């Protein structure tokens, strides 16, 4: 039989002897008690070394690593933990071993399970300060955005051809026509509630007829436009913030700036014009629906005929109440549109930011509307429009 030979270009190589297993020796020298390691301090060659190390008691002066052949991260961690536990000084570590020991020492820190406890009083002050800072920053941004809106308005007045009529008409439909159903129903029910609660209270004094005064003056002067503003803020203001925020997230707004299209003229102004134009109409419509609701309840519960209700309404409701509602409405519409568009343009980062900014737009719009309504009430009373 022939012999199986090696390939022509093959070469013989020597095989290194088996790596020595890890070991340790305890001894006493001039510096005190010492532990000397030898062999390979790697995971595959540790053997029973960890158990022997756990059995070492008392203090150790030095740990000698001159005799080791190799060390890995596990071996370095074992040596480091022994040094920490016994207060020993590590000696004889070469370059690789010293680097591993340094890395292990830097990362041998207790894990933090949570933030450190904070004094409840300090936490309250911290939250109040953060909220105050955020509110001031937002108010400055809104004022700056209002200034940009004024500049854009002046530009459109000087160049009427730049007004995007189609966009304005579309927003008029979204803000106004599509909202007629929900605003009308809400106002009708609010009128019923006002009439019912007012009649119950006035019945104690035998003055149920004054329910007409209550319904008429309250709806035309305050509740009609105020409830409409809250509904438009929740319905259209949130839509403005979500639409512009999504465009901002998709970098469509930046693309518009790149091609020379002003986002203020293309996105913001059509929404502001639609809100300012539609709010007086929606406010008047809501007031009429609330009066109809109040008249319906008066006819059913108080036996006040519709003709008598309308005649009494004309006697007790001055035109100044209607003027007040119509004056406040466009201001409320401006605030709602500015808050929605401003928050939409502040979206950064991810889709979650769109939801947060949409919520912020609704909250800010409603808050500013209520504050302005209180200011208007004091102002018109000061003018004598009572």
Taking only the tens place, the pLDDT of each residue in 99-148 is 887 887 777 766 555 667 778 888 888 889 998 998 899 899 999 999 99
Residues 188 and 97 reside in one and the same domain: no
CA-angle at 176, arms to 240 and 183, nearest 5°:
100
> Could you tell me if residue 355 is inside a domain?
yes
Cβ proximity of 286 and 187 under 8 Å: yes
- Please give the average per-residue pLDDT across 153-157, as a whole number: 92
> Could you tell me if residue 303 is inside a domain?
yes
What CA–CA distances, in Å, run from 246 to 47, 164, 256, 270?
61, 21, 14, 17
Domain holding 67, by residue range, is 23-107
What pLDDT score does 13 carry? 33
> Could you tell me if residue 210 is inside a domain?
yes
> Could you tell me if residue 29 is inside a domain?
yes
Cβ proximity of 303 and 376 under 8 Å: no
Residues 82 and 163 reside in one and the same domain: no
What pLDDT score does 16 carry? 41
Q: What tens digit of pLDDT does each residue of 199-228 get?
A: 888 888 888 888 898 999 899 988 899 999
What pLDDT score does 109 carry? 65
* Greater model confidence, 15 or 76: 76
**Phi first, then psi: what are they for 116, rounded to 5°?**
-65, 150
> Could you tell me if residue 150 is inside a domain?
yes
Residues 73 and 142 reside in one and the same domain: no
- Within 8 A by CB and 6+ apart from 257, the residues are 263
What pLDDT score does 110 carry? 60
Query: The tokens 């006819």 sit on which residue?
Result: 299
Residues 363 and 269 reside in one and the same domain: yes
What CA–CA distances, in Å, run from 114 to 99, 108, 117, 207?
31, 18, 9, 65
Residues 100 and 141 reside in one and the same domain: no
CB contact burial 97-131 (16+ within 10 A = b; e otherwise): beebbeebeeeeeeeeeeeeeeeeeeeeeeeeeee
Residues 99 and 152 reside in one and the same domain: no
Q: What's 89's domain CATH number? A: 3.30.750.24
Average predicted confidence (pLDDT) for the chain:
85
What pLDDT score does 4 carry? 36
Which two three-digit tokens encode residue 170?
A: 């579309």
- Please give the average per-residue pLDDT across 156-172, as a whole number: 91
What pLDDT score does 18 carry? 53
Residues 285 and 376 reside in one and the same domain: yes
Residues 51 and 184 reside in one and the same domain: no
> Could you tell me if residue 114 is inside a domain?
no
* Greater model confidence, 362 or 207: 362
- Within 8 A by CB and 6+ apart from 319, the residues are none
Q: How confident is the model at residue 3 (pLDDT cuts 50, 70, 90)?
A: very low
CB contact burial 226-259 (16+ within 10 A = b; e otherwise): bbbbbbbbebbbbbbbbbbbebbbeeebeebeee
Residues 166 and 102 reside in one and the same domain: no
CA–CA gap between residue 216 and residue 196 (Å, rounded): 14
Calculate the dihedral angle through the C-alpha atoms of 29, 32, 37, 41, rounding to the nearest 10 degrees. Answer: -160
Question: Domain total for the chain?
Answer: 2
What pLDDT score does 171 carry? 92
Residues 55 and 144 reside in one and the same domain: no
> Could you tell me if residue 269 is inside a domain?
yes
Residues 94 and 210 reside in one and the same domain: no
Residues 58 and 196 reside in one and the same domain: no
DSSP 56: -
């Amino acid at each position: 039989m022939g012999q199986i030979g090696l390939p022509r270009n093959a070469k013989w190589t020597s095989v290194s002897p088996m790596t020595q297993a890890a070991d340790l020796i305890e001894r006493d020298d001039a510096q005190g008690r010492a532990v000397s390691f030898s062999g390979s301090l790697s995971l595959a060659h540790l053997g029973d070394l960890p158990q022997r190390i756990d059995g070492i008691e008392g203090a150790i002066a030095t740990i000698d690593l001159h005799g080791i052949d190799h060390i890995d991260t596990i071996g370095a961690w074992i040596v480091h933990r022994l040094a920490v536990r016994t207060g020993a000084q590590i000696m004889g570590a070469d370059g690789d071993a010293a680097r591993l020991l340094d890395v292990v020492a830097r990362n041998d820190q207790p894990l933090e399970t949570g933030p450190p406890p904070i004094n409840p009083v300090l936490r309250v002050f911290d939250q109040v300060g953060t909220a105050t800072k955020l509110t001031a920053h937002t108010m400055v941004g809104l004022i700056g955005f209002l200034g940009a809106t004024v500049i854009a308005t002046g530009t459109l007045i000087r160049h009427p051809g730049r007004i995007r009529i189609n966009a304005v008409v579309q927003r008029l439909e979204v803000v106004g026509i599509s909202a007629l159903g929900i605003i009308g129903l809400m106002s009708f029910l609010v009128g019923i509630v006002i009439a019912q609660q007012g009649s119950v209270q006035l019945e104690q004094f035998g003055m149920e007829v004054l329910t007409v005064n209550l319904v008429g003056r309250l709806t035309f002067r305050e509740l009609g436009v105020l409830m409409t503003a809250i509904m438009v803020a929740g319905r259209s203001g949130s839509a403005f913030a979500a639409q512009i925020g999504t465009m901002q997230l998709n970098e469509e707004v930046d693309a518009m700036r790149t091609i020379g299209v002003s986002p203020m003229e293309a996105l913001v102004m059509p929404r502001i014009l639609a809100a300012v134009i539609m709010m007086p109409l929606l406010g008047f419509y809501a007031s009429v629906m609330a009066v109809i609701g109040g008249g319906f309840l008066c006819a059913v519960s108080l036996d006040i005929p519709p003709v008598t209700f309308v005649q009494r309404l004309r006697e007790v409701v001055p035109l100044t109440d209607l003027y007040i509602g119509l004056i406040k409405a466009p201001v409320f519409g401006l605030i709602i549109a500015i808050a929605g568009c401003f928050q939409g343009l502040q979206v950064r980062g991810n889709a979650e930011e769109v939801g947060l900014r949409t919520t912020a737009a609704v909250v800010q719009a409603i808050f500013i509307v209520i504050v302005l309504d209180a200011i208007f009430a004091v102002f018109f009373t000061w003018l004598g429009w009572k």
